[in-house]
Amino acid sequence: MESVGLFPVLALSAVLFATGVGGVLTRKNALIVFMSVELMLNAVNLSFVAFARHTGAVDGQVFALFVMAVAAAEAAVGLALVILLFRNRVTVSLDDLDLMKG
């Protein structure tokens, strides 16, 4: 990777992150929003791994592993919530969920 350097990896991470943000902000389907969040998490993971490679220490990779574990937990709970939501409202459209309206 010496011929590539750090910058392109981080740029890829930024692009993926921004794509995820765009998905979170624009899609109505809760599952797709959820997947966009996963995309953002992976973008961050990429940064961790890139920095780990840059410093030569392995800590960044350990962090990436932790993020994956937390993402797994989050996916389990989040998907359970989506199921619960669908069972009660027969929709997964976020636009229909405004019970917290002030």
Partner 1 sequence: MLALIPALPLLGAIVNALLNRRASRVVAGGIASAAVGASAILSFLIFFQVLGNHGEPVTQTLWTWMQVGSLQVDIGFYADPLSATMMCIITGIGFLIHVYSIGYMDDAADASSVWRFFVYLNLFVFAMLLLVMGDSFPLMFVGWEGVGLCSYLLISFWFTNTDYASAGKKAFVTNRVGDFSFLIGLFWLFWALGDKATMNFAELRDVVVAHPELVGGAGGIAVTAICLLFFGGATGKSAQIPLFVWLPDAMAGPTPVSALIHAATMVTSGIYMICRLNFLYVLAPAALAAVATIGALTAFFAATIAITQTDIKKVLAYSTVSQLGFMFLGVGVGAFQAGFFHVLTHAFFKALLFLGSGSIIHALHHEQDMRNMGGLRKHMKVTFFIFVVGWLAIIGFPGFSGFFSKDEILWLTFITPAFESLPLGTIMPKVLWAIATATALLTAFYMSRLMFMTFWGEYRGGQGHDAHAAPAAAHDDHGHGGGHDAHGHGAHGHDFHTPHESPGILLFPLLVLAALSVFGGLLNLPHWMPGAGWLHHFLHPVFEHNQVVFPHDNPLEFPLMGLTLFGVACSVGLAYSLYVTSPRKPAELAARFKALYTGSLNKWFVDEIYEKTLLTPLMTFSRQVLWAVVDAQVIDGVVNGAASAATGLGRLHGKLASGRVQAYALSIAAGAALIVTAYALGA
Partner 2 sequence: MTEAVLFYLFSLVAVVAGISVVTTRNPITSALSLVVCFFFLAADYVLLDAHFVAVIQILVYAGAIMVLFIFVIMLLNLREDAPAPLLELSRRGLVGILVAGILGTGLITALEAMPDPGPLAPVTDEYGRIAQVGAAIFSGDYLLPFEVVSVLLTVALVGAVVLAKREI
Looking at the Cβ atoms of 36 and 45, the one nearer to partner 1 is 36
Site residues (vs partner 1, CB under 8 A):
21, 24-25, 33, 94-95, 97-102
Query: Is residue 10 a contact point for partner 2 (CB under 8 A)?
Result: yes
Kindly tell me which of 7 and 100 has the beta carbon lying closer to partner 2: 7
The H or E element containing residue 42 is helix 30-55
What's the closest the beta carbon of residue 57 comes to partner 1, in angstroms?
A: 25
Answer whether 44's CB lies under 8 Å from 19's CB.
no
Q: 38 exposed, middle or buried (CB, 10 Å; 0-12, 13-18, 19+)?
A: middle
Residue ranges in 18-47 that form contacts with partner 2 under rule CB under 8 A: 18-29, 31-32, 34-36, 38-39, 42, 45-46
Binding-residue total with partner 2 (CB under 8 A): 72
Q: Alpha carbon of 70 to those of 73, 74, 75, 100: distances in Å?
A: 5, 6, 8, 27
